[in-house]
Amino acid sequence: MNILLDFLREQKVSETLIRELEHFRNRYPVNDGQRLATPSYLYYGKDIWEQALTALLCGENLLLAGSKATGKNVLAENLATAFGRPRYNISFHINMDATYMIGTDTFQNGQVTFRPGPVYQCATDGGFCILDEINMARNEALAVLHSVLDFRRMIDVPGYQQISLHEATRFIATMNYGYAGTRELNEALASRFVIIQTPEISEENLNNLLVRSFPKLQKKYREQFVALFIDINKKCENGELTMKALDLRGLLDALKLMEAGLAPRTALDMGITNKTFDSCEQEVIRDIIAGRISGKLTAATLFGA
């Protein structure tokens, strides 16, 4: 957890916010038995950090909306850790229903008992609940969250007492938008969140992310991979490529394959080029790659072995 605070300072996040975060953690200490997960990746982006911290400190629920691989889940997990709260993750899908989220009656040892769902557990535990891909669920199924997410901050289970949310409980939803197959979120639900649109990572932050993730990657090649991502981004912005080609996850995967010894061009095909199935688009991407990464380059040279 303290690694994360150091990281926030490194990112030059406002000291006032960091202090308030520490107050929050002191006010809501972790109970015995509450598991705090350490995040596997760190989110780079000072402005987004400051917006998200401010919103959550004010007691708001946060919706992170953006294109694929813009770090929405990484940020949501980092936030739970930064606030020092246990994390609950719910992945939404078309068949999600209220009983799964809130809980349901079960028959156990000859008695009817209530088996709480993750929203209920998170609400009583003071957890941070990540509602992942919230727009994938049917709107009717989500109506049950209305009273949880607005000023009432309570869960109403038919046949049981209403319960109020623990003060430290927060909800962070994520949603994808901007490409085929993504769904809109209904207005009543969107109105219950403050919304941050997650941008593509900046050039400087991508460089820092690569330094941390691939410490052995030689500087001059690291710069070429950063430039490659920026080149692809520009072509997407001016409409020469579709967003399929822009995939930071794909670039990181490709670098992992190179680190394991695969030829750079092959790894880039697997991580980036082949994500589009249009052969013309593949040509454009290969041209951009050829301008940055020589076909003769080996994985061993990249990683300075």
Q: Is 169 in the site for Mg ion (CB under 5 A)?
A: no
- Which of the residues 194 through 213 are near ligand ATP (CB under 6 A)? 201, 205, 209
Which residue among 249, 256, 286, 292 contacts ligand ATP (CB under 6 A)? 249
Phi and psi torsions of 233, nearest 5°? -55, -45
Can you point out the beta strands (E) in the chain? 62-66, 87-91, 103-108, 111-116, 128-132, 154-155, 163-164, 170-176, 194-198
Burial grade of 135 (CB within 10 A; 0-12, 13-18, 19 or more): buried
Which residue has 């962070």 as its token pair? 172
Q: Is 248 in the site for ligand ATP (CB under 6 A)?
A: yes
Segment near ligand ATP (CB under 6 A); pick from 61-69, 142-150, 228-236, 265-273: 61-69
Which of these, 187, 280, 291, lies nearest to 232 by C-alpha position? 291
- With CB under 6 A, what is the number of residues at the site for ligand ATP? 20
Q: Is 53 in the site for ligand ATP (CB under 6 A)?
A: no
Q: How many residues does the chain have?
A: 305
276 binds, among Mg ion, ligand ATP, none (CB under 5 to 8 A by kind): none
Q: Is 73 in the site for ligand ATP (CB under 6 A)?
A: yes
Q: Which is nearer to ligand ATP, 71 or 103 (CB)?
A: 71
Q: Which is nearer to Mg ion, 73 or 81 (CB)?
A: 73
How many whole angstroms separate alpha carbon 61 and alpha carbon 169? 9
Q: Which is nearer to Mg ion, 247 or 281 (CB)?
A: 247
How many whole angstroms separate alpha carbon 271 and alpha carbon 206? 17
Burial grade of 149 (CB within 10 A; 0-12, 13-18, 19 or more): buried
Counts of helices then strands in the chain (DSSP H, E): 15, 9
Q: Is 24 in the site for ligand ATP (CB under 6 A)?
A: no
List, in sequence order, the alpha helices (H) in 214-262. 219-237, 248-259
Q: Is 136 in the site for ligand ATP (CB under 6 A)?
A: no
Interface map 46-85 toward Mg ion (x if CB under 5 A):
--------------------------xx------------
Q: Is 230 in the site for ligand ATP (CB under 6 A)?
A: no
Q: Is 189 in the site for ligand ATP (CB under 6 A)?
A: no
Binding site for Mg ion (CB under 5 A): 72-73
Binding site for ligand ATP (CB under 6 A): 41, 43-45, 66, 68-74, 174, 176, 201, 205, 209, 248-249, 252
